[in-house]
Amino acid sequence: MLSVRDLTVSLGPETAPVDIVAGVSFELGKGEILGLVGESGCGKSMTSLAVMGLLPQPGPRIRAGRVLLEGCDVTQLQPWQRVVAGHGRMAMIFQEPMTSLNPVRRIGDQIAEAVRVHDRLSGPPAIDRARELLEQVRMPDPAMQLSAYPHQLSGGQRQRVMIAIALACRPQVLIADEPTTALDVTIQVQVLGLLRELCNRLDMAMLFITHDMGVIAQLADRVSVMYAGRIVETAGVEALFGRPRHHYTRGLMDCMPSRNSGARRLPTIAGQPPAPGTVGAGCVFASRCAAVRETCRTAAPPRAEVSQGHDVLCAFPLDGGEPR
Amino acid sequence: MSRDGAILWLKPFIARPIALLGLGILLGTILAATFAPWLAPYDPYAIDPSIRLTPPNALHWFGTDQFGRDTLSRVIHSARMALLIGSGVVMFALATGVPIGVLSALFPRLGHLLMRMVDVLMAFPSLLLALGLIVVLGPSVANAILAIGLGYMTTTTRIVYGLTLRLRMETYVEASRSMGAGTAWLIGKHILPNLVSPLLVQASFVFAFAQLGAASLDFLGLGAPPEIPSWGNMLAESRTFITRAPWLLFFPGMMIVATAFSLNLVGDALRDRLDPRFRQLFSEKG
Amino acid sequence: MWSYALKRAGTTAVTLLAASIIIFAFIHIVPGDPIYVLLGDTATPDQIDALRHQLGLDQPIILQYLTWIGHVLEGNLGRSIFFQAPVLSVIADGAETSALLATMTMIWVTLIGVPIGMIAAVRHGTWLDQGLSGAAMLMASIPTFWVGLYLILIFAAWLGWFPSSGYPSIFEGGLVNLRYLVLPSLALAAPNAALILRLTRASMLDVSREDYVRTARAKGIRPWQVVVRHILRNALLAVVSAFGFTFAALLSEAVVTETVFALPGIGRLVVQSILRRDYPVIQGVILVIVVVYLLINLIVDLSYRLLDPRVELQ
Ligand SMILES: Nc1ncnc2c1ncn2[C@@H]1O[C@H](COP(=O)(O)OP(=O)(O)OP(=O)(O)O)[C@@H](O)[C@H]1O
Ligand code: SF4
Ligand SMILES: [Mg+2]
């Protein structure tokens, strides 16, 4: 469905680029939910914006790599260019529901605008479709809300509107960049439930970005772990949580509250991720890895398939059988 | 200033050739004002009726006026008045605006009252305020500075007030305050140093607009006394000769434009290197 | 909305009250006793006392202020020494010219400043943008009277397309008399259009960095639709609020422009009254301009809120 290959997003001049996303690859199958996790600033949003063709300008740019949607190359294409080229069926929802809707335009207009582009409807049928979409996202009293302004809705309702706008594109791939981080816990659960249901019902694939391992565990089919602009481990959700093979993934797991019983303080991974542009030739995690060896610092670790569908970017991966 | 410091200050100008041009014009004006008696080819007051209203030529590059005075020499000497008015207005605006703004931000009760008074003054369009003051004080160079400065005192106060409020809220200031730091210490150590760069931006813009205000007053005959050479006075005097000697108005006018433009360019370049927190206080309203 | 409007109107009233005190004080601090200005130096002490009493100048200052403000509220701004006529009617004579000049200037400012500002913002970072922004800064640095003088030279003296000075009322000569205002309004518009241009550009750039603009792009609508439907309207909201300030700048700059073009407006009236020492007229004009300025700002502020649906519920 969606295939991203060696995507590299860079800042700075052509002659001395600083890579904030470095050689990211992943595959997203039909109806599949892929979780992308990593600490703040590791490049998750940049990856998703690059895939969508929404990188802010002027600013970061795609320096290398390819994005294939249903086998067609859509690298560097902005959404409207994709629509023109007939590859419009990829949509995105964002982290900030409070600021992601235009404050001076009615909800109905904002949804209908997307309907017009993707369904080539206009006038009342477009508004009807907008109401139908609001029903699909379980918006209470959809007919009324069409004429509401964003400030009249709660955060959760606004995120539902954002989902409705995304669904107007009839997406086969939905990118969700921390869609629930800004919401209260109960609302968060509802929105996650809605997203999963929509994926099942519409047979839609989703790239779900978060830094919450708990959410990933519930929602995703497969998981990619990102660190300092690189994907360091990819595996099915059971394999990843059951037998993490990368030292960083293991560290993340140890930080999860459910895995640490009782009164003990949550452990954290000591140190800071390297700033973009400061990574040398070796492993990006070397400065924080407990199992670091001399070769880690000098040579880039290989990407190894430790088992069927389980990739690790580490020279000395954890032994899968090791007791946790 | 250390070498690194100097490089830091020059950076916005080096990155933008047009800002460098602004800096160049400004430097030229200052040099012209300083060395006017040596630079000017003739005595700016010397009258020679035999060469009245001659167009620009090899002897008189900018031509001569209705009394046969050399326009180039008068233009060069006028740079002094331009710098005097500009720096006078800037100093007046800073000397009043900074204390009022800082104190208003530190003492909210007093501040509320003072800022309301600033609002009232801002209800008078600035040139009208200047004219009213000239009526009361009578026309002179010093009064022109005062009259124009009053209009910029209000905007400077507003900006300083806004900046100081922000600085005061910032945690490090809060912390030093809670440790029993005195107000004077707070102002000297944390607030004033942070005001320097934004005030430099404000000073550039005020200097630029003071040129235009002074030119307007001179033109109306309410600014510098007519016998003093100033670009505004030159325009006022030769106004009626515009059809006969269009060049007469060209050069003094161009000088006003050049100084105001160069200061605007400098202010713009300095604003762009300002901390983003402060930048928004300088809106595009000028 | 209504409570906001009331509150805003209240602040305006308080500001106006404070301004009126300053304007009242003005006539009392001008050099020379107004009595001498009225009677000349040859008046006898008896005449002086009589006039002093007649004008209420022997009363306590507070009472004098209250009497004055009472008269002002009745529409009585005093008598012009020069014209020997009520100040209000002298001002009214100049109002037509000034109002039309200001309106025509605002039309130029909007027609020039907003679209070119938009173009600069859309072409952000290109040579076109830098050229337009630089040109705007240059325009803002040119004295209006200087532009005015050269407009007269070129379009009136050389080409003869427009009259060089004066303005006969449109009520006497019909709308063609508006041609008298073309050159003055263009001169007055130049620096203000430049400011609006820069403001339009800056606020469009601000808005284009908003998250909701990214959402609009994500929908797959075309770039010009993003600009028109999402960036422009929100950016213009900020520009609208600057129109009040522009108008104020305009009232003051009109003083010079009206002098250059010899227009019979209230701007030239101020300058002439200053030269004639006709203090009641100066006082009256300042008062009227301050009232107009504050009212326009009030209206602009309230209409700004009407355009922004976010305040509906508040
Ligand atoms: N416009 C920009 N210009 C320069 N650097 C940027 C820009 N936007 C982001 N970055 C940098 O790019 C890196 C990746 O940022 P990104 O937003 O993708 O992180 P993230 O994983 O989404 O983090 P978060 O969990 O906080 O959303 C960060 O180091 C950030 O500092
Ligand atoms: S390559 Fe070396 S430093 Fe990097 S994660 Fe593996 S063991 Fe740690
Ligand atoms: Mg992010």
Residues A165 and A218 both lie in one domain: no
B233 in any annotated domain: yes
Using the 3D structure, point to which of A118, A139, A170 is the last residue of a domain: A170
pLDDT reading at B2 higher than 70: no
- Number of helices and strands in chain B (H, E): 13, 0
Parent domain of B174: 31-284
Task: Decide whether any atom of ligand 1 lies within 6 Å of the A46 Cβ.
Answer: yes
- Helix C233-260 × helix C279-307 angle, to 10°: 160
Mean pLDDT of chain C: 85
Residue pLDDT, tens place only, C3-51: 888 888 998 999 999 999 988 887 777 766 666 666 766 777 787 777 7
Say how far apart CA B246 and CA B74 lie, in whole Å.
16
Run of H or E including A11: strand A2-11
Residues A239 and A111 both lie in one domain: no
3-state secondary structure of A309: coil
Q: What angle do CA C57, C63, C66 make, to 5 degrees?
A: 110
**Residue A307 belongs to domain with CATH number:** 3.40.50.300
Please report the pLDDT score of residue A24 as a whole number. Answer: 94
Tokens 């397309």 sit on residue:
C161
Q: Which atom of ligand 2 is nearest to the CA of A292?
A: 3
Exposure of C289 in the CB half-sphere (CA atoms within 13 A): 33
Please report the pLDDT score of residue B180 as a whole number. Answer: 63
A94 in any annotated domain: no
pLDDT reading at B190 higher than 80: no
Residues A193 and A82 both lie in one domain: yes
Please report the pLDDT score of residue B172 as a whole number. Answer: 62
Q: Which of A69, A89, A37 is nearest to A204 (CA)?
A: A89
Say how far apart CA C242 and CA C301 lie, in whole Å.
10
* A257 preceded by a cis bond (ω within 30 of 0): no
- Contact assignment for C16 to B219 by CB distance below 8 Å: no
Closest-CA distance of chain C to residue A154, Å:
14
Please state the rounded mean pLDDT for residues B170-193: 70
Residues of C within 8 A of B243 (CB-CB) are 153, 157
The total number of structural domains in chain A stands at: 2
Given C138, C271, C286, which is nearest B220 (Cβ)?
A: C271
pLDDT reading at B286 higher than 50: no
pLDDT reading at A210 higher than 70: yes
Q: Which atom of ligand 1 is nearest to the CA of A49?
A: 18
Q: Which of residues C204 and A271 earns the better pLDDT score? A: C204
B168 in any annotated domain: yes
Residues A71 and A61 both lie in one domain: yes
DSSP state, residue C79: B
Residues of B within 8 A of C14 (CB-CB) are 116
Concatenate the DSSP letters of all residues of A198-223 into one string.
HHHHHT-EEEEEES-HHHHHHH-SEE
Residue pLDDT, tens place only, B209-249: 899 999 999 988 888 888 888 888 888 888 888 888 888 88
Sign of the dihedral defined by the CA atoms of residues C143, C148, C154, C158, in that order? negative
Using the 3D structure, point to which of A170, A197, A219 is the last residue of a domain: A170
Q: What is the pTM of this model?
A: 0.83
Residues A117 and A7 both lie in one domain: no
Parent domain of A115: 103-170
Q: How far apart are the first and last CA of chain C?
A: 6
A277 in any annotated domain: yes
B115 in any annotated domain: yes
B17 in any annotated domain: no
Please state the rounded mean pLDDT for residues C101-113: 93
Residues A178 and A47 both lie in one domain: yes
B159 in any annotated domain: yes
The ipTM is 0.89
Looking at chain C, which residues constitute the CATH 1.10.3720.10 domain(s)? Answer: 88-307
The total number of structural domains in chain B stands at: 1
A98 in any annotated domain: no
DSSP state, residue C83: T
Using the 3D structure, point to which of A147, A170, A193 is the last residue of a domain: A170
Please state the rounded mean pLDDT for residues A88-115: 91
CB A198 within 8 A of CB A204: yes
Distances (CA, A) of A315 to A7, A282, A306, C140: 22, 10, 11, 64
Residue pLDDT, tens place only, A49-86: 999 999 988 789 999 999 999 889 999 999 999 999 98
What lies within 8 Å, CB to CB, of A266 at 6+ separation is A255, A257, A260
Run of H or E including A225: strand A222-227
What tokens does A239 get? Answer: 């394999």
CB B15 within 8 A of CB B258: no
Residue type, C191: P
Sign of the dihedral defined by the CA atoms of residues B221, B226, B230, B235, in that order? positive
Task: Decide whether any atom of ligand 1 lies within 6 Å of the A276 Cβ.
Answer: yes
Give the pLDDT band of residue C212 (cuts 50, 70, 90).
very high
Residues A117 and A221 both lie in one domain: no
Residues A215 and A181 both lie in one domain: yes
Is the CATH number of domain C88-307 3.30.750.24?
no
A16 in any annotated domain: yes
Residues A194 and A65 both lie in one domain: yes
Residue pLDDT, tens place only, C268-292: 999 888 888 888 888 899 999 899 8
Q: Which of A28, A9, A178 is nearest to A92 (CA)?
A: A178
Q: Which of A321, A274, A314, A42 is nearest to A177 (CA)?
A: A42
CB A216 within 8 A of CB A35: yes
Distances (CA, A) of C168 to C151, C174, C179, C264: 20, 9, 10, 9
Residues A120 and A268 both lie in one domain: no
Q: What angle do CA B118, C240, B111 make, to 5 degrees?
A: 20
**Residue B126 belongs to domain with CATH number:** 1.10.3720.10
The residue whose CB lies within 8 Å of the most ligand 2 atoms, and thus the one to mutate among A289, A297, A319, is: A289
The residue whose CB lies within 8 Å of the most ligand 2 atoms, and thus the one to mutate among A292, A295, A319, is: A292
Task: Decide whether any atom of ligand 1 lies within 6 Å of the A58 Cβ.
Answer: no
Give the pLDDT band of residue B265 (cuts 50, 70, 90).
confident
Please state the rounded mean pLDDT for residues A108-123: 90
Residues A285 and A189 both lie in one domain: yes
Residue pLDDT, tens place only, B58-77: 777 788 787 778 888 888 88
Residue pLDDT, tens place only, C142-182: 999 899 988 888 888 788 888 888 888 777 877 777 788 88
